[in-house]
Amino acid sequence: MEDKEIYLCSLVEKDHFFYRVRRDIVRSWLQKIFPQKNSTPLVVEAGSGTGIMIEELGEDYEAFGSDLFFDPGISLPVNRFIRADVCRMPFAENMADAALALDLIEHLPDDLAGLQEIARITKPGGYVFINVPALPLLWSDWDQAVGHQRRYKKQEMQKLVKDAGLETILLHYANSLPFFPILIYRWFRSTFGVGKKQRLEDRVPPQLINRILYWAFFQEGTKKWVSLPFGGSLFAVLRKKSGNN
Q: Give me the percent of the chain exceeding a pLDDT of 70.
A: 98
- CA separation, residue 219 to residues 14, 223, 225, 230 (Å): 20, 5, 9, 14
Residues whose CB is less than 8 angstroms from the CB of residue 68 and which lie 6 or more positions away in sequence, other chains included = 83, 84, 85
Which residues touch 174 (CB under 8 Å, ≥6 apart)? 131, 134, 217, 220, 221, 231, 232, 233, 234, 235
pLDDT tens readout for residues 193-242: 877 778 899 999 999 999 999 999 999 999 999 999 999 999 999 999 98
Q: How confident is the model at residue 244 (pLDDT cuts 50, 70, 90)?
A: low
State residue 166 phi and psi, 5-degree precision: -110, 155
Greatest Cα-to-Cα distance within the chain, rounded to the nearest angstrom = 58
What are the Cα distances from residue 108, in Å, to 36, 79, 161, 163? 35, 26, 15, 16
Give pLDDT tens digits for 50-100: 999 999 999 899 999 999 998 988 998 888 999 999 999 999 999 999 999
Give the pLDDT score at 163: 97
Burial class of residue 164 (count of CB atoms within 10 Å of its CB; 0-12, 13-18, 19+)? buried
Quote the pLDDT of residue 192.
87
Number of residues written out for the chain: 245
What local confidence, expressed as pLDDT, does residue 39 receive?
83
- What is the structure's pLDDT at 245? 56
Which spans in 61-146 are helix H?
111-120, 141-145
At position 87, the amino acid (one-letter code) is C
Q: What is the pLDDT of residue 36?
A: 77
* Whole-number pLDDT of residue 12: 97
**Separation CA 3–CA 23 (nearest Å):** 21
| pLDDT recorded at residue 194 | 79
pLDDT single digits (tens) 28-37: 999 999 987 7
pLDDT tens, position by position, 140-179: 999 999 999 999 999 999 999 999 999 999 999 999 999 9
Q: What's the pLDDT tens digit per position in 169-187?
A: 999 999 999 999 999 999 9
> How far is 79 from 23, CA to CA, in rounded Å?
20
| Pairing verdict, β 233-240 and 122-133 | antiparallel
Domains of the chain: 3-240 (3.40.50.150)
Nearest to 111 by CA among 144, 172, 152: 152
Q: What pLDDT score does 198 carry?
A: 81
Look at residue 1 in the predicted model and tell me its pLDDT: 77
d(Cα 49, Cα 66) in Å, to the nearest integer? 8
pLDDT (average), residues 98-123: 98
